Structure formats: structure tokens, C-alpha cells
Amino acid sequence: MTLQILSFIKLSDSQKDLIHKSGDCHINCLRPKEAAVHFGQIDILLGYDAQMDMDAFLPQMPNLKWIHTYSAGVERLLANENFRRSDILLTNSRGIHGIPMAEHILGTMLSFSRCLIEAWENQKAHHWKRLTAPDELYGKTAAVVGLGSIGREVAKHLKNVGMRVVAVKRKKTTEPFVDELFDTEHLGEALSKADYVIVTLPLTPQTHQLFDRRAFNMMKETAFFINVSRGDVVNEDDLVDALSSKRIRGASLDVFAEEPLPEDSPLWDVENLYITPHHSSISPMYLDRSLKIFRNNLQIFPQRIGMLNVVDKMRGY
């Protein structure tokens, strides 16, 4: 039987050809409003539009069997109880973001430790001012909180510049680029050791606002905090307080509780806070890497055995 696939992102002819070679299928590339007339025939949804009202869309897709997302995070989909309890298979693109996100994190850390933003500000003002506080990453300790595929790639990059890496994950396992591993019950111990705290957690009920006043109080006063996971993992008011009171030395946020970040958000004006517009995972290789996972899964979808990145909809990842 020919599977009917709907993609909400325009695919190139070569990308569609590779998908066709992976299974008996027909692909339509349309935006949700344009695709409505096809909903009744769709077997597979490739990509997900965050603006979709799943309560409205699901009844229109009685044949829907599988959704593959281009993102790793799927909390918006799983917020819909009808979808979460359905038999629809969900796979994500976990693993494709590791390299660009690790490079983003390393670049942020180097910018902070080598005072590159301060140097850039001096350049714009035509000030020749030798900086007195540049530091090294070599020999410093980084705590990676959340050791999935992204966290592992981050740990690998940081070990390659001579850092000591501690990490936190739900279950303790042997990890090649980690010097010391803590389970989630010992998060505070990991935070207390770190010069840099890097958050790569999924957003679940257990991680919602995990980084609050209590967590920031566990960190060194010289610690630099980085969040590239989900905005709601952090209590932003508590972070503002921690930075304003110099409880920690600095922070970098790529994700926020509300996006786009409102113009009147107090975060914009906090000293020693670097803001980027949720772009740490962006790469020209992004789509091809996600489609490679999808194509591999499409080949074995009829059996549904051995598929990659299948999301446990009850756990949330």
C-alpha cells in the first residue's frame, strides 16, 4: 500500500527522491491550511507546525499513523492529551543537533572567558583597552545537566579543549567523555563543582523550572550558566535575581519561556547575560540530518521494529 506523506516544509526534488527510495510512498509538501483537503488520506506527518490545534486536526486525520518531528523537543505535541493517549507513533530528530549546539556552547564559553564581547564593545567605541581578565577553559570544570545525544556531543567538545567534565543524568552509565557522573538526586553536588553549568535537558514535569533560586544558590559565585534546552527549565525571575545580585558571574540563554522574547522583558538589560534567539541548533545540515532518520525509519515502518528515536509519549522523551 502506498503511504501518503504530508510535509509542512518544502523539500527539494533530491530530498523527495531519497524518501521515495526508502518506501512506497507519495509526498505532498504543503502548509497546514493548504493541506486541509488531504488530511483524510494522510498516513504520515513529516514535521509539525506549533500553531496547529491538535484537537481540531486529529479528527480530520483518521488514517494518521506516525508523526516525525524535525525537532528533538516534543512537549508542545505531548501537551495535547488526546494525541498523547492515541496510538499514533511519534519519532523525533534527537541526535541531529549535537554538533551545532556544542559549537554554539563552546563559542559562548570562549566569548565569555576571553572577554571577546567586551573587546568588541571597545572596538565600536574606538577604545584601545587591553583586557585584564581573560581566562582559559583549559582545566576548568563543566557540568553538563542532561546527557542525551546533545549532552554527549557537548561533553566531547569540552574534553577536546582540556576541560574536566561532570554530568548529570537520570541513570548512571559509563560515558566516554565524562570524568564524573551524578544521578539526578545529586544535582547539587555537580553544580557546586562547576565553573560552567550547561543545560541540555528535555522539558518534562520533572524538569520544569528545575533551575530556580535553590539551584543557583548551589553554584559557585564565579559560575557561568548556559541554557540551550527549553526556556521553562529555568525560573527566569530567579536567574535575573542571581545575576543582579552577583550570586553567579554570568549566563547565556538561547531559549526562553516566551518566544520571541518580549521587548519589555527584564532579561534584555541584565548585566553579563548573553541572549541569542533560539538559534543554537540551526545548521545548513539540519534538514538533511533529520530526513536521514526519517528515511531509515520509513524503510522499517511496516514492521515498526527497530525504529530510531521513538518517543515514549508518557515520559515525554
Q: What is the pLDDT of residue 43?
A: 98
pLDDT higher than threshold 80 for residue 85: yes
**What does the block give as the cell for 5?**
506523506
Mean pLDDT, the chain, whole residue set: 96
Find the range with the poorest average confidence among 4-8, 47-51, 179-183. 47-51
Do the domains at 3-95+285-300 and 98-275 have one common CATH topology?
yes
pLDDT of residue 33: 82
Q: Which CATH number fits domain 3-95+285-300: 3.20.20.450, 3.40.50.12780, 3.30.1360.40, 3.40.50.720?
A: 3.40.50.720
Half-sphere exposure of 170 (CA within 13 A, CB side): 9
pLDDT at residue 208 greater than cutoff 80? yes
Look-up: residue for cell 538561547? 254
pLDDT number for residue 52: 81
As a whole number, mean pLDDT of residues 1-13 equals 95
Give pLDDT, residue 37.
87
Whether domain 98-275 has CATH 1.10.10.10: the reply is no
CA 169 to centroid of chain Cα atoms: 16
Q: How far apart are CA 124 and CA 177, in angstroms?
A: 39
**What does the block give as the cell for 157?**
567538545
Of 60, 65, 33, nearest to 46 by C-alpha is 65
pLDDT, greater one: 79 or 242? 242
Position 31 scores a pLDDT of: 87
* Active-site residue, from 213, 247, 278, 289: 278
Task: Name the band, by pLDDT with cuts 50, 70 and 90, for residue 72.
Answer: confident
pLDDT of residue 1: 86
The question of whether 126 is a catalytic residue gets the answer no
Confidence of residue 61 (pLDDT cuts 50, 70, 90): very high
Q: What is the pLDDT of residue 172?
A: 86
CA of residue 304 relative to chain centroid, distance: 26
pLDDT tens for residues 131-175? Answer: 878 999 999 999 999 999 999 999 999 999 999 999 999 988 899
Q: Which residue in 258, 259, 279, 304 is the catalytic one?
A: 259
pLDDT digits (tens, 9 = 90+) for 254-267: 999 999 999 999 99
The confidence band for 317, taking pLDDT boundaries of 50, 70 and 90, is confident
CB atoms within 10 A of CB 212: 15
22-41 pLDDT tens trace? 999 999 999 888 888 899 99
Of 239 and 202, the one with more pLDDT:
239
Catalytic residue flag (residue 295): no
C-alpha cell at 239: 536567574
Verify whether residue 278 is a known catalytic residue.
yes
C-alpha–C-alpha distance, residues 13 and 246, integer Å: 53
pLDDT of residue 4: 98
Q: Averaged over 69-82, what is the pLDDT?
A: 91
Ranges of each domain in the chain = 3-95+285-300, 98-275
Peptide bond into 176 cis (omega under 30): no
Has residue 226 got a pLDDT over 80? yes
